[in-house]
Chain A
């Protein structure tokens, strides 16, 4: 009995937090999203705000664009982070390992805004890189590298790198070196060992890292706006615009919900395609 009480007391802050700051506001937002604005101060309950999303190609396209770019950013992050994590977990020794890990962490000691401005200083027309190119004679005139999709991608990958490296290092760390050696002893080459032993073992890390990075990209606001310039078109920007500049909270809430539902659907599909499930990636990883 006493043990139970302790359990509930410890659980209370979490429940309060979940309930008060997440569930209640979402319920409120859900009801708001069902209000259709007929005129000033005149509302009726309907699904019009959701219909607007599907009827107006602009909103639908913005979401598709956001999702596709986020998926791409996740894949690029994985491709870059995997060798880095493998090196940190398996090849680096002692202090080097700690130093490398800290180096990955270092950019996150400053705020996201400062990091993004850093990229802007580097890439703008009168920026560092443009001057460097002109100085070396590779470019005859100032080069504008900001305000396009590639820049957004660079920013997103840079911002999410750490969130891929950490889970990958942890899972790769738990891989017994003997398994890799056994793979070679049985006649495998580098590629087949990677495919048959390392990747299957790292799968929980890959999946959880990918989910985190995908969600971070999808929900990112600053990076696409600042680096993307005049054609940034990010779905979170749409939500912000609806709430703040259009005073259309009803539409904004509907967009918020659609983002929640559609991103959950994408994550679920991703898990299905890779044959994973949430408990094996977020839990203790089963056989480890």
Chain B
């Protein structure tokens, strides 16, 4: 037997052995459940070059992430990125996550205040389930030349923008309108009866407002098209959407509403049946390096919780951020507290009735 054939045979045997000892093979792939733009190809390639680990990216959103992980009891993915307010509720109800081993996280790379706040918000029974990655806000995206009158969510129901308004039929809209109507839905989180009362008022307002709405948007791209074509001049949307449009049309941008933009932080959370825990920690520590974090900011459009990444961020994006957020608007951001289990049922019924109203 020549050495060449011997090597081949050895490799074959090794291959078969590895295939049966599944764990070892799969550890070389990290199955990441995340949002669009959070794992750009360039970063995935750099990670592969440094660690030899392939990253398999699945793009999703908060609801789908929970639904997918619930379907498998926390399997099928090695690392997920739900928003911080949706972690403990889902965990207590469906038990889909695994506590994070904070000793494996390089906490010096995180902005301290954000790390502490996220740890606090994702703690259940004394265990931490999430660390922060990317943060941003939702508020108003306006064509300032045509919708100058819109200062807050409730102004979307004004006659000035009749038929040229779009928002989502999802929970951020309910929360935003509640704030704009002078109520504090977050303060009512702990009291179901009180929350129901708040939501009933929002429901009446939204039904009243329905004639003003062109369409309830469902996908980010569909909304951008509506705004770009001028069919919609005022919308409730994410900050990045506004900034993206601002590149092509200086009139359109993101505006923080008077009652406060709604702030979210997307986290890293470990699915309960993760098969590549080490790779997941490696990925977290890799993407939190300031330079890599800046690359992700460029692709996702939102800033990260990485300490020092601002220095590498694109100037144009920083400028847009400063335009949309004067200091008092930053101080006025309403950060989502964790959603207690059960509130989604109340919101669901409200959204159904708004959708059904004539």
Q: Which residues of A contact B (CB under 8 A)?
A: 39-41, 58, 61-62, 124-126, 144, 146-147, 225, 229-231, 233, 238, 241-249
Give 9 CB contacts A-B under 8 Å. A58-B352, A126-B230, A230-B213, A230-B215, A233-B355, A245-B63, A245-B170, A246-B345, A248-B345
B157 to chain A, nearest CB (A): 14
Binds A, one of B23-31, B64-72, B264-272: B64-72
Closest to A62 in B: B356
Partner of B92, one of A40, A147, A249: A40
Closest to A249 in B: B70
Q: Which 6 A-B pairs have the closest CB atoms?
A: A246-B348, A40-B341, A229-B215, A126-B229, A40-B93, A245-B63
Closest to A37 in B: B345
B213 near A247: Cβ-Cβ < 8 Å:
no
Seed contacts A238-B352, A248-B345; 7 additional CB < 8 Å A-B pairs: A144-B231, A147-B214, A230-B355, A243-B67, A244-B67, A245-B348, A247-B63
Closest to B71 in A: A249
- Could you say which residues of chain B place their CB within 8 Å of the CB of A147? 214-215
B210 near A230: Cβ-Cβ < 8 Å:
yes
B215 near A41: Cβ-Cβ < 8 Å:
no
- Could you say which residues of chain B place their CB within 8 Å of the CB of A242? 348
A229 near B218: Cβ-Cβ < 8 Å:
no
- Could you say which residues of chain A place their CB within 8 Å of the CB of B358? 231
- Could you say which residues of chain B place their CB within 8 Å of the CB of A230? 210, 213-216, 355
A247 near B230: Cβ-Cβ < 8 Å:
no
Q: What's the tally of chain B residues with a CB closer than 8 Å to chain A?
A: 29
Closest to B230 in A: A126
Q: Contact mask B75-109 → A, CB, 8 Å, 1/0?
A: 00000000000000010111000000000000000
- Could you say which residues of chain B place their CB within 8 Å of the CB of A41? 92-93
Q: Measured between alpha carbons, how far is A153 from B154 in the docked complex, in Å? A: 33
Closest to B229 in A: A126
- Could you say which residues of chain A place their CB within 8 Å of the CB of B41? none
A248 to chain B, nearest CB (A): 7
Indicate if B126 sits at the interface (CB-CB under 8 A): no
A247 near B66: Cβ-Cβ < 8 Å:
yes
A247 near B93: Cβ-Cβ < 8 Å:
yes
Contacts known (A40-B92, A230-B210); A247 close to B342, Cβ less than 8 A: no
- Could you say which residues of chain B place their CB within 8 Å of the CB of A241? 348, 352
Q: Contact mask B201-216 → A, CB, 8 Å, 1/0?
A: 0000000001001111
B92 to chain A, nearest CB (A): 6
B63 near A244: Cβ-Cβ < 8 Å:
yes
B231 near A125: Cβ-Cβ < 8 Å:
yes
- Could you say which residues of chain B place their CB within 8 Å of the CB of A125? 229, 231
- Could you say which residues of chain A place their CB within 8 Å of the CB of B210? 230
Indicate if B353 sits at the interface (CB-CB under 8 A): yes
Interface residues of B in 282-301 (CB under 8 A from A): none
Indicate if B344 sits at the interface (CB-CB under 8 A): yes
- Could you say which residues of chain A place their CB within 8 Å of the CB of B352? 58, 238, 241
A231 near B355: Cβ-Cβ < 8 Å:
yes
Closest to B169 in A: A230
Q: Measured between alpha carbons, how far is A126 from B229 in the docked complex, in Å? A: 7
- Could you say which residues of chain A place their CB within 8 Å of the CB of B93? 40-41, 247
B258 to chain A, nearest CB (A): 25
- Could you say which residues of chain B place their CB within 8 Å of the CB of A245? 63, 170, 348
- Could you say which residues of chain B place their CB within 8 Å of the CB of A244? 63-64, 67
- Could you say which residues of chain A place their CB within 8 Å of the CB of B216? 229-230
Q: Measured between alpha carbons, how far is A249 from B66 in the docked complex, in Å? A: 12
Q: Measured between alpha carbons, how far is A246 from B355 in the docked complex, in Å? A: 15
Q: Contact mask B238-274 → A, CB, 8 Å, 1/0?
A: 0000000000000000000000000000000000000
Q: Measured between alpha carbons, how far is A151 from B66 in the docked complex, in Å? A: 33
A214 to chain B, nearest CB (A): 23
B202 to chain A, nearest CB (A): 17
Q: Measured between alpha carbons, how far is A245 from B216 in the docked complex, in Å? A: 15
Q: Measured between alpha carbons, how far is A243 from B355 in the docked complex, in Å? A: 17
Q: Measured between alpha carbons, how far is A186 from B305 in the docked complex, in Å? A: 87
Q: Measured between alpha carbons, how far is A245 from B341 in the docked complex, in Å? A: 14
